[in-house]
Amino acid sequence: QTYNVAIVGATGAVGQQLLNTIESRNFPIKNLSLLSSKRSAGKAINFKGKEHTVEEATPESFEGVDVAFFSAGGSVSKALAPEAVKRGTVVIDNTSAFRMDKDVPLVVPEVNEAALHQHNGIIANPNCSTIQMVVALEPIRQKFGLTKVIVSTYQAVSGAGAQAVQEMYDETKAILEGRSFTPEILPVSSDEKHYQIAFNAIPQIDKFEENGYTFEEMKMINETKKIMGMPELEVAATCVRLPVEIGHSESVYIEIEESNRQAQELKQSLEGAAGVVVQDNPSEQLYPMPALAVGKNDVFVGRIRKDLDRDNGFHLWVVSDNLLKGAAWNSVQIAESLIKLELI
Ligand code: 11C
């Protein structure tokens, strides 16, 4: 069987990765519509050797579409995803628009594929930094239980979009050439102040909430509980932007339910787990790094250590390509699961 597929946000960084992933997975496409905002409409995109013209997304664009991938920002999803569903399309939404809605499954197939059975037309793809963390936590939770997570992130600039990446390059060049440069995008383009990302670390990703956490941090906290089905799980997050183009890294401290467990046992639970590659050998300086994760679908885990003070505490280092497992690949995986489970 083949499917009519639409990509909304086809010209963006994630849209491009969606096209690559759909092609490399040989996704069974009957017809492909590439859609975007009015601004990007008219652009030509090559897919499997055929030119496609990007069209402006309207409610009518979804007539006859079986599955639509949305990655054009929350407001576009809010306006058009319900219109698509009305027309019988299953929407896989990569924005935060519907993630916390009770009747919208928030899915990472390695963790909660079964939640897809509850879908009502929209399935939410989680935030990139959440996805890679839960893929690493799930095999540990299954074997040893999990009670607490404290994560600090080292996030790539591509998470903030293609313009932010351009700003990092322009700024780096300006600084190296001794020229002045005024940032206008990072950390958050609509915020009042902007800071240099080149040769820097910015402890703000997305806007601040009233509780002093940023929206990115709250996404990690709330989405982790929802995906893992553990409202009682203690989660805290500090999210930091680094001058890395692609690949989010995370230092994750966890507490497990069981006592008297060793790092080697946690490592074994991760080895061979779906979507995980363990890279952990201090004697050979083997550990995950974003530069080595670019272009790969896996979540890389290393630096697995037992805490020196708490018997049930462990530390992990988790790295993944934020545009692939964090976005495009997880979305396509959801679509493949929907087909496998006969839900589209
Ligand atoms: C970042 N995690 O790195 C964000 C990007 O909710 O899907 C992804 C935003 C989202 O800035």
Query: Which residue minimizes the CA distance to atom 3 of ligand 1?
Result: 159
Three-state secondary structure of 243-288: CCCCCEEEEEEEECCCCCCCHHHHHHHHCCCCCEEECCEHHHCECC
What gap in Å lies between CA 67 and CA 55, rounded to an integer? Answer: 17
- Measured at the CA of 109, the angle between CA 107 and CA 113, to 5 degrees, comes to 75
- pLDDT attached to residue 333: 98
**Is 72 near ligand 1, meaning CB less than 6 Å away?**
no
Query: Which residue minimizes the CA distance to atom 6 of ligand 1?
Result: 127
Q: What is the ipTM of this complex?
A: 0.98
From the list 314, 320, 305, 235, the residue with the least C-alpha distance to 275 is: 320
Average pLDDT of the chain?
Answer: 97
Whether 321 has a pLDDT exceeding 90, the answer reads yes
Query: Which residue minimizes the CA distance to atom 9 of ligand 1?
Result: 127
- pLDDT attached to residue 26: 96
Q: How far is the CA of 34 from the centre of ligand 1 (A)?
A: 22
DSSP result, 200-257: --BS--SPBPTTS-BHHHHHHHHHHHHHHT-TT-EEEEEEEE-S-SS-EEEEEEEE-S
Which atom of ligand 1 lies at the shortest distance from residue 219's CA?
6
**Is 128 near ligand 1, meaning CB less than 6 Å away?**
yes
- pLDDT attached to residue 13: 87
Mutation pick for ligand 1 pocket among 133, 322, 323 (CB with most ligand atoms within 8 Å): 322
Q: How far is the CA of 203 from the centre of ligand 1 (A)?
A: 14
Q: In this structure, are residues 155 and 247 in contact, taking their beta carbons and an 8 Å threshold?
A: no
From the list 218, 212, 257, the residue with the least C-alpha distance to 235 is: 218
Q: What would the pLDDT profile of 274-304 be if each residue is shown by its tens digit?
A: 999 999 999 999 999 999 999 999 999 999 9
* DSSP designation for 191: S
Q: Token pair for residue 73?
A: 């920002």
Q: What would the pLDDT profile of 55-106 be if each residue is shown by its tens digit?
A: 999 999 999 999 999 999 999 999 999 999 999 999 999 999 999 999 999 9
**Is 130 near ligand 1, meaning CB less than 6 Å away?**
no
Region at 260 (left for phi over 0; alpha for psi -120 to 50; beta for the rest): left
Q: How far is the CA of 157 from the centre of ligand 1 (A)?
A: 10
Q: What are phi and psi of 284, to 5 degrees?
A: -110, 15
From the list 72, 77, 206, the residue with the least C-alpha distance to 129 is: 206
Whether 191 has a pLDDT exceeding 90, the answer reads yes
Q: In this structure, are residues 241 and 188 in contact, taking their beta carbons and an 8 Å threshold?
A: no
Catalytic residues: 128, 248
Region at 303 (left for phi over 0; alpha for psi -120 to 50; beta for the rest): left
Which atom of ligand 1 lies at the shortest distance from residue 126's CA?
7
